[in-house]
Structure 1
């Protein structure tokens, strides 16, 4: 459903990887999953980019490490209905 090229490097027993994949599916984003646990070539690809952990998501080659929902939304052009609230601004005297 998207025009972006989305590649997600995942590994076995990785809760954050599962979160990334679940969100992409929820948002109906087409993506390619590359599991580094089952394919040594995918592991080497990540190492060549100096990345040593998963998940590592690339949206049109923009790198997003870990599960960062706001960064994923921004990179994918998904409007966020959430607003950032600075808790320090909420402390009134």
Structure 2
């Protein structure tokens, strides 16, 4: 998809981690997953970055904490459909 370096820190029993990994796969993004529940070194790496929760995604120099789909799309250059309210059809009287 792109030449960006994508690293995702995950943990076991984390529904947002599962959702994030699923979305990256759906978008065909190459990424490296580092599960902090299964590898203590990954846990220490994440702490050294002053991050203490998962999911934590690092895209080149950009840090995205939690599951933030719009920010992920924007950072990865994946287009998304904007949804705007049609204020012309709203009645404020």
Same fold (TM over 0.5): yes
- 1:41, CA displacement in angstroms? 0.6
- 1:3, CA displacement in angstroms? 1.1
Q: Aligned-pair RMSD on alpha carbons?
A: 1.9
- In 1, Cα distance between equivalents of 2:15 and 2:25: 15
Q: Number of residue pairs matched? A: 91
Give the TM-score normalised by structure 2: 0.89
- 1:34, CA displacement in angstroms? 0.2
1:4 to 2:22 alignment: no
Query: Which residue of 2 is the match for residue 44 of structure 1?
Result: 44
- In 2, Cα distance between equivalents of 1:92 and 1:28: 44
Residues 84, 22 of structure 1: alpha-carbon distance in 2 compared, 3 angstrom cutoff: farther
* Structure 1 residue ranges without an equivalent (≥5): none
Residues 84, 6 of structure 1: alpha-carbon distance in 2 compared, 3 angstrom cutoff: farther
| Map 1:1-93 → 2, pairs under 5 A | 1-85=1-85, 92-93=92-93
Runs of 4+ in 1 over 2 A off after TM superposition: 82-85, 90-93
Bigger Cα Rg: 2
- 1:54, CA displacement in angstroms? 0.1
